[in-house]
């Protein structure tokens, strides 16, 4: 995929996206632009299926929707509310500690700078960038496993890690696509360009995709 093909790819993905289920964190952000809820739902989503993340986030926010309310809960109660999210006990402690720090150090408000977000335990670049883009509407590129895999599969970048992919995309991807690319590629990666045996026969991008690393497809 060359530099010009990316415009075609994004256009086609936007057309297809309307028929796909939106990522759970995106749904949270669209219901209410709350950096705190985006942050917490991102933590819940790590190594957890989207449908589990959506239900766990809904239960948790019905009980505690602010840092103060969350910090008032016991970690065991948080864990019970987000179960069966992966590593739910560890995540409950992270959510509780982040909430406590937001109150004591940030007047209950989520910071909007990536370096400050990365200083919180359990917050990596994927989560920090989602908070900036979906929570604050600031420019950023969130690179998760889907974005990393698909951009390399396209041949748009050649990188080894999500961190390298983010750097490469910042240098190459038109800024107008920085925020939407995560939503589009997560949905695309869940429905068509799956990790193993992607559905290339029905993919509208097949003529501009390099299919790098694809050994078996459908």
Reply yes or no on whether 126 is catalytic: yes
Query: Pick the catalytic residue: 37, 50, 144, 183?
Result: 144
Reply yes or no on whether 109 is catalytic: no
Query: Pick the catalytic residue: 37, 50, 126, 183?
Result: 126
DSSP states along the chain: --TTHHHHHHHHHHHHHTTSPPPHHHHHHHH---HHHHHHHHHHHTTS-HHHHHHHHHHHHHH--SHHHHHTS-HHHHHHHHTTSTTHHHHHHHHHHHHHHHHHHHTT----SHHHHHTSTT--HHHHHHIIIIIH--------HHHHHHHHHHTS---SSHHHHHHHHHHHS-GGGTTHHHHHHHHHHHHTS-SSS--GGG-TTTTT---TT-----
Query: What residues act catalytically?
Result: 126, 144
């Amino acid at each position: 995929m060359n530099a010009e093909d990316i415009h075609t790819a994004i256009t086609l993905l936007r057309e297809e996206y309307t028929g796909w289920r939106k990522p759970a964190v995106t749904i949270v952000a669209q219901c209410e632009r709350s950096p705190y809820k985006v942050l917490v739902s991102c933590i819940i989503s790590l190594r957890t299926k989207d449908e589990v993340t959506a239900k766990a986030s809904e239960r948790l926010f019905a009980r505690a929707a602010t840092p103060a309310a969350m910090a008032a809960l016991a970690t065991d109660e948080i864990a019970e509310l987000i179960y069966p999210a992966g590593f739910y006990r560890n995540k409950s402690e992270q959510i509780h500690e982040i909430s406590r720090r937001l109150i004591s150090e940030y007047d209950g408000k989520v910071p909007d700078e990536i370096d400050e977000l990365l200083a919180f335990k359990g917050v990596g670049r994927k989560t920090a960038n989602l908070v900036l883009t979906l929570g604050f509407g600031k420019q950023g590129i969130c690179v998760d496993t889907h974005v990393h895999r698909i951009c390399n599969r396209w041949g748009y970048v050649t990188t080894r890690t999500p961190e390298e992919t983010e750097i490469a995309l910042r240098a190459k991807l038109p800024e107008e696509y920085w925020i939407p690319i995560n939503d589009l590629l997560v949905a695309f990666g869940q429905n068509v360009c799956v990790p193993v045996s992607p559905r290339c026969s029905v993919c509208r991008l097949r003529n501009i995709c390099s299919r790098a690393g694809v050994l078996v497809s459908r």
